[in-house]
Structure formats: structure tokens, C-alpha cells
Amino acid sequence: MKIIELLDKANDTQISYEIIPPKRGSSAHQIMKIVAELVEYEPPFIDVTSHSAQVYYEEMQDGKWRRHVKRKRPGTLGLCAAIKHRYNIEPVPHLLCSGFSREETEDALIELNYLGIQNILALRGDGHEGKHPSPDRSVNAYAVDLVDQVACMNQGHFLEDIIDGTPTDFCVGVAGYPEKHFEAPNLSWDILNLKRKVDAGADYIVTQMFFDNNRYFNFVKKCRDIGITVPIIPGLKVFTSKKQLQSLPSRFFLEIPEALAAEVEEAKPEHVVDIGVEWAYRQAEGLLNSDIPCIHFYIIQKTDVVKKVVGRLRGVKPSATQVAI
């Protein structure tokens, strides 16, 4: 089922999750265990991140450097198929412009269509900004171009001039940034580009994580003011370690509120998780009180802290029983 239909049908605020595929060479056991643990929380959907190839250099014995291009975390599509067909939960694969040609993207969308996966999150990705693709590669430069490619397939227009193919029926989510995207000169400018994604066919928005709900409410208001009407799902992350005081702002270009930063700074390292859980719980409670369709939790690799927050929201304790995977 499409995410927008799921949200439309739900009687109360839904809670969704995002996971990350394991590194190349690792088994999928741990990540499928995480999915199995989430089943008891009845997620309407689970996002699976995507990772483009990265360049790295290896020093050879003769002192020369060898260039490698490798995807560290493949497996997005396979995990999505397993989530859908083993657990009957709607998976949302992330699709990137960066690192993929339009032809590869079309192939991925055909695979997803055959697997019965109807939802995708369309993203630009990072690392290829400002570089011109080689003449033999057609590449989506911005997320809006990827949304447009999916919208064309939804009308039966494929690449290679197939204009009367069988239309696909994808529901498309896109990213939004309550504290603006790091490249955008200001929030209004960024929101105009967000509107272009919605006008191109995006059905809903998921936000970057934020730790101050006012940022989200201000962002939603600005979006509504310029005519964005689709659901805007807030993304939350549970703060878990002192080093995140620097790593989250530098990686995601967001602010940690003074009160949270001060509390974390004064705490013993082993107490930071409790502070993070309490903060995320209060943030989620505030959001639940303001009539939003869904809250999206970034889990990345561990469920325990998110389960503490969601368990409290739902009034259930996380079960300690083993889950079959």
C-alpha cells in the first residue's frame, strides 16, 4: 500500500523507522533482527537507506596509489524485499541521484515494481555536487529530477523513448530540512526547491532530524504558506553519546538546543542515553499533541533506545522475548 494511503487510513499518529544496510561483507542477520524487533510496534513502514559508491585510494608496494570505487553498503533493494515479503511491512527504499545513472535508476524502479514495492524516498545524495557527468551517462542532478523520472514512469514514459509502457504506480517521498539544507543560502530558498519537488510529483516529505520542535513547526508553517499541502513527517533521533554534540551538527548541519547540550555536557557518559531518551520522548509527545500523521525514528543500527521512547509513548514496555527472524 502507498504511504499516503496508509497515513490517510490511520486513526492515530503512526510511528515509522529507518534502518541502514550492513557493510559489504557482513551478514544481514543483525539488521533483520532489528526489523523483527520492530514488528511488535506495528510500523506502517520502514525506510532502508541507500549508499552510493565512494572513492578511496590504496597505497601499492611500488609507492603508487590505486584508485578504488566501491559501494560500502549495498543491499537496499534486497532488504526491502525481505521486509515486505517476510514481515508484510511496507518498505521504503531510498533512491539516490548521486552515483547512479538514470538508466540504472530505471532498472531499480522496474525491479521494485516487480517486487510489489510501491514506495520510494527520492534523494540527491552527496559527493557529486557540481561535477558534470560524463557524456555517456545521463544523471539526475537534483532530487527534483529523480521525482520527475518516477512521475514519467507513473505515466508509462520510460527512457529510450518508450512512451506507451505500462504505467508504474509509485508513491514518492522527498527530504525536507527544518534547519535548511547546508548548501541553501536560506530556509525560504530551500523551501522553494522543496516545493519544486512536490510540484514534480512528490507525495510526502520526511524531515531531517531536529532536536527543537519549534524548528519543525516553523518549517511546516513556511511550507504551508507557499502552498505545500502534502504530509510533512518529522524525523527524530535519540541522542545517545557525548560525541554527538559535535558529530551531529557537523554531519547533519543542525543545532543542538542549549538546554540539551548543557545537560549532556554535565552528565556522566553512561547517563547520556537516559537524557536522550527523555528528550526524544518529550519531543515526540509535543508532536503527537499537534495532529501529525506520523513520526519517523532514525534507528541506524540499534533499536534499544528507540524502543524505550516508543514503549513509553504507547504505554508498553519493550518485550525481552526472543523474536523469530
Give contact residues for ligand FAD (rule: CB under 6 A).
49-51, 94, 96, 123-126, 142-144, 175, 181, 183-184, 190, 193, 197, 206, 208, 235
The HSE-up count of residue 42 (CA atoms within 13 Å, CB side) is 8
If residue 215 lies in a helix (H) or strand (E), which one and from where to where?
helix 213-225
In the complex with ligand FAD, the residue whose CB is nearer, 153 or 198, is 198
**Nearest distance from residue 156's CB to ligand FAD, in Å?**
25
Task: Give 206 or 306: the residue with its C-beta nearer to ligand FAD.
Answer: 206
Nearer to ligand FAD, 104 or 183 (CB): 183
Query: Helix 76-87 and helix 102-114: axis angle, to 10°?
Result: 10
Minimal distance in Å, beta carbon 159 to ligand FAD? 20
Maximum Cα–Cα distance for the chain, whole Å?
66
Q: In which element (H, E) is residue 124 found? A: none
| Smallest separation, CB 131 to ligand FAD (Å) | 14
CA dihedral 224, 227, 229, 231 (to 10 degrees): -50
Residue at 15: amino acid letter = I
Taking the least distance from each CB to ligand FAD, the nearer of 82 and 144 is 144
- The Cα–Cα gap between 243 and 47 comes to 26
Smallest separation, CB 117 to ligand FAD (Å): 15
State the amino acid at position 195 in one-letter form: K
CB of 124 to ligand FAD, least distance (A): 3
Given the complex with ligand FAD, which of 273 and 300 has the nearer CB atom?
300
